[in-house]
Amino acid sequence: MSLFSKYETLIHEAMKATAVRNYYTPYPEIPKFYAEDGDAKAKAYISTVMNNNFAELKQEAHDGWIGEEISPYLQLGIGVKYPNSSADHYVAMAEKAQLQWSKVSIEDRAGLLVEVLERLKTRFFDIAYATMHTTGQSFMMSFQASGPHSNDRALEAVIEGYKQLTSMPAQATWTKPMGKFDLVVNKNWRAIPKGVGLVIGCSTFPIWNTVPALFANLITGNASIVKPHPKAVLPIAIVVGEIQKLLSENGLDSNTVQLAVDTLDKPITKKLAEHPSVKLVDYTGGSVFGEYIEGLQHKTVFTEKAGVNSIILDSARQLAPVMQNIAFSASLYSGQMCTAPQNIFIPEGGVKTDDGLVSYDDAVKLLCDSIQGLVTNPKAGAPTLGAIQSDATYKRLQDASGLGGRVLLASMPIKNEEFADARVASPAVIELTREQQNVFNHECFGPIVFVVKTKSTDDSIALAKNLAKTKGAITCGAYTTDNAIQSTIETEMNSVFTPVSFNFTGAAFINSHAAFSDMHVTGGNPAGNGSLTSAEFIVKRFVWVGNRFM
């Protein structure tokens, strides 16, 4: 039985899910649904992998072994080394593999890629600890984001690719009546892959932000080079290793997917991105390098860059659940999510509730108390915050008091009972006026929250809209009980290609975007030019070419 036949039911279920857009996942996000001994085995696995060469890749170490990852929990290098080669070597191997992979049928590609995801299910615990000790995510976030949620997004890319590549008939007989005779032409259509793809990963979500592009490339017939962030390699290395193993088992060139590791001192990203044989480039990270990627000539590029995410407060039934929700969203993984809220716009006249008007000062105090209560909770604080991944993010937080404005809540170290040396710190909350746009009009990545006092809700909307238009935004949250104001916010923010989450409380958080339902990034504002997982994210990776036969 072919792999496509093996997974045909799943593939068609997933196709239906993309049309219905309701909740769907073949990969439950709770660890108890997987092997009972998975956690214990993963801890042993990580202990074995640390301070050793990573032996799961089918790649040669032509230029030795390199690696410089540091655990945010241990504050020590994890010591994993990866095979190193030149940019030219990676591209040459990818070009050779491309010749074979591009000829594999869409059905065989789809079946093989779903098989990869099924095998990754058995590695979710391994991947979770690898993510935890490279990014600083908590165990549960690491398990969910780099495991089931990443599988969801990868499958979504495969399904969208399958839909697009089967949207044209393989061949047809074209008949045009000409009176005394018919003009008959046989035609076929071929989806030609654009060529070698480069996927550039980020340091905070090394799998979730990588596999959609990687699987989009593969389903459309493009060999790919994965260039992870030097500080977050191990999680995606496990994924690449599983892909290479399955390729080899099926008689395919394992270099169809390669891992290209570099160091901060000796980067190879530009060499790969500028190589004339690299035709596709996907990038997640800061805006400056993202704009460089977008400026590359003669390449198809997809970017997710920095955005300035806003919360607009107008009115609410009760304000306490609102502030608790915002507090969690801002504290989750120490604000190191591209979807985390940064600017909280509150009118100087206060916030209307069912219990009466809550003054601006009382609303701000409630937000600060909500954050403080969360982060100092012995059971919830440290697991919610995780650990701060990079030195730059930690320094930005330490220097936050010098950004301007009034510090309403200073950052404080939070103890992690399991890891005494973990770099954990609570969010800083800083009050700004609307005139201090030079402070809040750019992304301050990490656990920094700006409360901005505005003249009115209309003023808040105008500020949030302008930020999304000029600086980009991935998310926007809004709280209002007024239908007319809700409609205005939706219209104004959508006009600058920003989605809005209205009145989220309880278990619904602005940070989370669900595969098979929510798009991630719209591609319409400066936060990025691609969208997970739109049709455009797929169809720009190949070209339809038609042939005619008399």
DSSP secondary structure letter of residue 532: B
Instruction: Report the C-alpha gap between 50 and 110 in whole angstroms.
Output: 34
pTM: predicted TM-score of the whole model, two decimal places: 0.97
Helix (H, G, I), strand (E, B) or coil at 524: coil
126 to 153, 236, 408: CA distances (angstroms)? 19, 11, 40
Helix (H, G, I), strand (E, B) or coil at 189: strand
Confidence of residue 543 (pLDDT cuts 50, 70, 90): very high
User: pLDDT tens digit string along 49-98?
Assistant: 999 999 999 999 999 999 999 999 999 999 999 999 999 999 999 999 99
Q: What is the predicted pLDDT for the residue at 17? A: 97
Q: What is the predicted pLDDT for the residue at 309? A: 98
**115 contact partners, CB below 8 Å, separation of at least 6:** 3, 6, 7, 246
Q: What is the mean pLDDT of residues 297-315?
A: 97
Instruction: Report the C-alpha gap between 366 and 168 in whole angstroms.
Output: 56
Tell me which long-range contacts 533-539 makes (C-beta under 8 A, separation of at least 24): 533/153, 533/156, 533/157, 533/160, 533/212, 533/216, 534/160, 535/160, 535/164, 537/157, 537/160, 537/212, 537/216, 537/302, 538/157, 538/160, 538/161, 538/164, 538/216, 538/219, 538/220, 539/164
Q: Are 264 and 68 in contact (CB under 8 A)?
A: yes
CA atoms in the 13 A half-sphere facing the CB of 504: 21
Kindly tell me if the per-residue pLDDT of 346 is higher than 80. Answer: yes
Q: What is the predicted pLDDT for the residue at 206? A: 98
Kindly tell me if the per-residue pLDDT of 365 is higher than 90. Answer: yes
Query: With 0-12 CB in 10 A as exposed, 13-18 as middle and 19+ as buried, what is 239?
Result: buried
CA atoms in the 13 A half-sphere facing the CB of 460: 32
DSSP secondary structure letter of residue 278: E
Kindly tell me if the per-residue pLDDT of 437 is higher than 90. Answer: yes
> Which residues pair with residue 171 across a beta bridge?
188
User: pLDDT tens digit string along 514-539?
Assistant: 999 999 999 999 999 999 999 999 99
State which amino acid sits at residue 396.
Answer: R
| Angle, vertex CA 30, rays to CA 28 and CA 36, nearest 5 | 105
User: pLDDT tens digit string along 247-268?
Assistant: 999 999 999 999 999 999 999 9
Domains of the chain by range and CATH? 3-306+530-549 (3.40.605.10), 310-502 (3.40.309.10)
Kindly tell me if the per-residue pLDDT of 108 is higher than 80. Answer: yes
Q: What is the mean pLDDT of residues 471-486?
A: 98
128: left (phi over 0), alpha (psi -120 to 50) or beta: alpha
Q: What is the predicted pLDDT for the residue at 145? A: 98
Q: Are 219 and 191 in contact (CB under 8 A)?
A: no
Q: What is the predicted pLDDT for the residue at 458? A: 98
Q: What is the predicted pLDDT for the residue at 229? A: 98
Kindly tell me if the per-residue pLDDT of 200 is higher than 90. Answer: yes
Q: What is the mean pLDDT of residues 194-204?
A: 98
Q: What is the predicted pLDDT for the residue at 1? A: 74
Count of C-beta atoms within a 10 Å radius of residue 260: 27
- What percent of the chain is modeled with pLDDT above 70? 100
